[in-house]
Structure 1
Amino acid sequence: MDSALSDPHNGSAEAGGAANGTTRPPSTPEGIALAYGSLLLMALLPIFFGALRSVRCARGKNASDMPETITSRDAARFPIIASCTLLGLYLFFKIFSQEYINLLLSMYFFVLGILALSHTISPFMNKFFPANFPNRQYQLLFTQGSGENKEEIINYEFDAKDLVCLGLSSIVGVWYLLRKHWIANNLFGLAFSLNGVELLHLNNVSTGCILLGGLFIYDVFWVFGTNVMVTVAKSFEAPIKLVFPQDLLEKGLEADNFAMLGLGDIVIPGIFIALLLRFDISLKKNTHTYFYTSFAAYIFGLGLTIFIMHIFKHAQPALLYLVPACIGFPVLVALAKGEVTEMFSYEESNPKDAAAVTEGSKEGTEASASKGLEKKEK
């Protein structure tokens, strides 16, 4: 799931090139700077816009758009689940043919990528539709059972504009499936990251500290302790990482010497930064101090990761630098402002539970009113 920034060795031999006695030409300083500057910019975009959209998502009333809330128990279990998944993928690549595994993964992420990209571009595309666009409403309903035992399995509402976005996203999906081009990979990767930051919500700051702390240990162990993380990241042909070629200036769009950044290094800090934005709004001071502080901390942490990697010429676990920065900077600001208690007491309720309570209250009110009317008639 999560992967470190790639090893920036210049002139390293490729698998095929070594047999022929050829090596990859060294990347130029300009190419390296462009690659890592682009990765930094691409990492910031889904965090910034995903955080903004998470505020609207938290206030949403549509059940299908409600976020998934991560509790402290989920946060504690997540590094264990991620470790088992990572090790399982590593063993799969060692035992089975890499070609067939990546074929299955490509089909799986082809579908997920289209849906994620469609959801991402939908708000932007709405601005381009004319006022007289025939925007018909549709509903995909799949139920199980009948009568009182009928249970909804799928209940998805969409309109004609959503179908247009789905069609445009499908074009990118076919491009990715046929060519595996790095631009198509990045479009899907950005969509996954933005959706993750928007729809995955931490219920409080303590949960965020547990999640980031656990994944801090996970990332350091699997990068420095073993070769599992780097092996999976380089073998896994799916849009679970952002990539940018270091030889773009020499080879153009057909460049193939990539630097990479795992989506986990974007989404995990991103959902914590989004939580701090919602905390800022809850203070009702018309300032976004904690959001901007954590956002600047992310830039500092990722920049430090790139610098250390360039100095030591070895892949780095980005969360090693991102976690202390993203947690430490906002806590220091809270200490300076005397708002530590407010920060750690801020709690977000599960919107699904709140909706269920609201619905239950509504049904209870209707039932009480009905009984009162019956008594009055008697």
Structure 2
Amino acid sequence: MESTSFVLFLLLLLTTVFYSSPVFAGDIVHQDDVAPKKPGCDNDFVLVKVQTYINGIEDLEFVGVGARFGPILESKEKNANHTKLTMADPPDCCSEFKHRLMGEVILVHRGNCSFTTKANFADAAGASAIIIINNQTELFKMVCEANETDVSISIPTIMLPQDAGAVLEKNVNNSIVSVQLYSPGRPPVDIAEVFLWLMAVGIILCASYWSAWSAREAATEQDKLLKDASEDYLDTENTGFGGSVDISTTSAVLFVVIASCFLILLYEFMSIWFIDILVGLFCIGGIEGLQTCLVALLSSFGQFEHASGSFVKVPFFGAVSHLTLGISPFCIAFAVVWAVFRHHSFAWIGQDILGIALIITVLQIVRVPNLKVGTVLLSCAFIYDIFWVFASKWWFDESVMIVVARGDKSGEDGIPMLLKIPRMFDPWGGYSIIGFGDIILPGLLITFSLRYDWLSKKNLRTGYFIWAIVAYGLGLLVTYIALNMMDGHGQPALLYIVPFTLGTFLTLGRKRGDLKDLWSRGEPERPCPHKIFEESSE
């Protein structure tokens, strides 16, 4: 079990703590709020579908963003017209057109003049819509100039990222291209986010009860040894709960330092081969987690009791139970199959199974010994999450955490250290996600609360666990509300979760007078084994 604990502890550092991923909607656009809303320039920013047809045959579909100005696009595909696409002349659309247009949609390069100037020239030339190609591989929210007082533009204006625009421009030069422009609305509630919320809370519940049960079993076993009053057992006061790794204050701080260094490495050297390394690490962790969970589950059935209690020596791993040996091939095969098919639409199921098993196992093995360590860990993680999502833009000109989360520069759709669920009943598709760190880091404190409650023999009402899990659920709920209120911009979940969870714990502990024990000991005071031995000898 010692080797297992060490492996999981390393995986926590390498694949979880450094990656407390922001929750984000996946359709991230860069905002420009310099110019406030004004008459004729007060549209809400909406995503726009650009369905293309090459020589009359349906082809690629691109996603753009609508401008603050211009009319609102159709919301249904069946009501959107097929309109010919042509290149603007001049290409930047910053002067009058040389030829009159006949209602075409024009493709324009960004730069040299304002967005409203381009739209006005296109409108005057007879275009039905204008698509502006950004000079970067991301979207930019188009607003009016700060000095413009009244804007009257009668055609829609859409922006596409640079890579999508390059494809369209190439097709326009070689074929007859037509487009459909429409902007379907999103459902008011993302069902995928509801399931992610239930999944995150459920994982912490399962891990907490497993951890508390293990702690209580270890404490009961220790009490039995003490009652035997044998000198051979006098060292039991130094034994922890079997197979667990306690985090210290120093390691809590180092967690975040190492996490930041590793995140920078990911950002600077993100590539396909780097993603492959992360996939390999994730598979190792997933195999270990799935194996641990299955062994624990099957061991509770009588027919597997003998297999779980008999061991064989394996090089490097030491003593391994026959049940573990029997389950290992299945776990390895499961992870390999996921790695091979990870680009398929159904791969999220395997990723979530491996991820859930890994998270539960980490929460079972890695433990916060007291509230002091939990406070240091979550406070550092709180600062870490905010810095790398928001403040990192000041030094790197973009959000480092979000760039890594999306898998930019890697050619892949993000990294695997995430739980993800497809957005159901959403015409835009995509995934709703949550990072492992957003479950594990607060989960360490919540599992500690239940262990403390059980060892202190507190019920749900007088204990801390129920309040901690409710606070976590509320914090995660506020995260999703904030996400949907901010146009899909990435949100550091710990920004909301940590104040709810840690704040509730500290406030309740102080009010009940348990803060001193929670802060330093982290468990109820237990009789000294030497004293028990002396009393039993009398």
Correspondence for 2:417? 240
1:146-185 Cα distance to aligned partner (Å, 9 max, x none):
xxxxxxx6423211x3234323323421331111111111
1:10-47 Cα distance to aligned partner (Å, 9 max, x none):
555597655545899857316x5211111111111221
Distance 1:135 1:48, change over 3 A: closer
Amino acid at match of 1:278: R
Superposition deviation, residue 207 in structure 1: 0.8
**Partners in 1 of 2:385 and 2:191 — Cα distance?**
26
Task: Name which of 175, 185, 197 aligns with 2:337.
Answer: 175
Task: Name which of 333, 350, 354 aligns with 1:188.
Answer: 354
Superposition deviation, residue 329 in structure 1: 1.2
Amino acid at match of 2:405: A
**Is the 8 Å Cα contact of residues 208 and 447 (structure 2) preserved in structure 1?**
yes
Equivalent position SS for 1:343 = helix
**Is the 8 Å Cα contact of residues 187 and 425 (structure 2) preserved in structure 1?**
no
**Partners in 1 of 2:516 and 2:470 — Cα distance?**
23
Q: Which runs of 5+ in 2 are unaligned?
A: 1-18, 28-46, 49-62, 65-137, 139-160, 169-178, 222-238, 393-398, 531-538
Note if 1:336 corresponds to 2:511. yes
**Partners in 2 of 1:328 and 1:302 — Cα distance?**
14
Correspondence for 1:82? 259
**Partners in 2 of 1:330 and 1:203 — Cα distance?**
15
* TM-score, with length taken from structure 2: 0.56
Superposition deviation, residue 82 in structure 1: 0.8
Equivalent position SS for 1:29 = coil
Amino acid at match of 1:3: S
1:300-319 Cα distance to aligned partner (Å, 9 max, x none):
00000000110012110000
Task: Name which of 316, 338, 348 aligns with 2:491.
Answer: 316
**Is the 8 Å Cα contact of residues 186 and 239 (structure 1) preserved in structure 2?**
no
Note if 1:139 corresponds to 2:315. no
**Partners in 1 of 2:341 and 2:245 — Cα distance?**
33
Correspondence for 2:21? 3
Superposition deviation, residue 323 in structure 1: 0.6
* TM-score, with length taken from structure 1: 0.77
1:52-79 Cα distance to aligned partner (Å, 9 max, x none):
1112443548999511110111112221
**Partners in 1 of 2:325 and 2:400 — Cα distance?**
40
Q: Which runs of 4+ in 1 moved over 6 A?
A: 22-25, 61-64, 131-136
Equivalent position SS for 2:474 = helix
**Partners in 1 of 2:304 and 2:26 — Cα distance?**
50
**Is the 8 Å Cα contact of residues 185 and 238 (structure 1) preserved in structure 2?**
no
Correspondence for 2:208? 51
Q: How does 1:283-362 map to 2 (within 5 A)?
A: 283-287=456-460, 289-313=463-487, 314-347=489-522
Superposition deviation, residue 126 in structure 1: 3.9
Superposition deviation, residue 217 in structure 1: 0.4
Correspondence for 1:375? none
Amino acid at match of 1:230: I
Q: How does 1:16-35 map to 2 (within 5 A)?
A: 17=164, 19-21=166-168, 28-29=186-187, 33-35=190-192
**Is the 8 Å Cα contact of residues 204 and 344 (structure 1) preserved in structure 2?**
yes
Q: How does 1:206-221 map to 2 (within 5 A)?
A: 206-221=372-387
Amino acid at match of 2:472: Y
**Is the 8 Å Cα contact of residues 269 and 326 (structure 1) preserved in structure 2?**
yes
Q: How does 1:268-287 map to 2 (within 5 A)?
A: 268-287=441-460
Q: Which runs of 5+ in 1 are unaligned?
A: 143-152, 350-357, 362-378
Comparing 229-238 with 206-215, greater Cα deviation is found at: 229-238
Comparing 320-329 with 21-30, greater Cα deviation is found at: 21-30
Correspondence for 2:439? 266
Correspondence for 2:77? none
Q: Could you tell me the percent identity over the aligned residues?
A: 27
**Partners in 2 of 1:64 and 1:71 — Cα distance?**
16
Distance 1:218 1:26, change over 3 A: farther
Correspondence for 1:369? none
Distance 1:345 1:100, change over 3 A: closer
**Partners in 2 of 1:27 and 1:173 — Cα distance?**
37
Question: Superposition RMSD on alpha carbons, in Å?
Answer: 3.2
The structure with the largest helix share of the pair is 1
Superposition deviation, residue 141 in structure 1: 4.2
The structure with the largest strand share of the pair is 2
Comparing 109-118 with 69-78, greater Cα deviation is found at: 109-118
Q: How does 1:354-373 map to 2 (within 5 A)?
A: none
Distance 1:110 1:316, change over 3 A: same
Correspondence for 1:257? 430
**Is the 8 Å Cα contact of residues 278 and 416 (structure 2) preserved in structure 1?**
no
Correspondence for 1:110? 283
Superposition deviation, residue 280 in structure 1: 1.2
Which structure carries more relative contact order (alpha carbon 8 Å, separation 6+)? 1
Equivalent position SS for 2:21 = coil
**Is the 8 Å Cα contact of residues 267 and 403 (structure 2) preserved in structure 1?**
yes
The structure whose Rg is larger is 2
Amino acid at match of 1:166: S
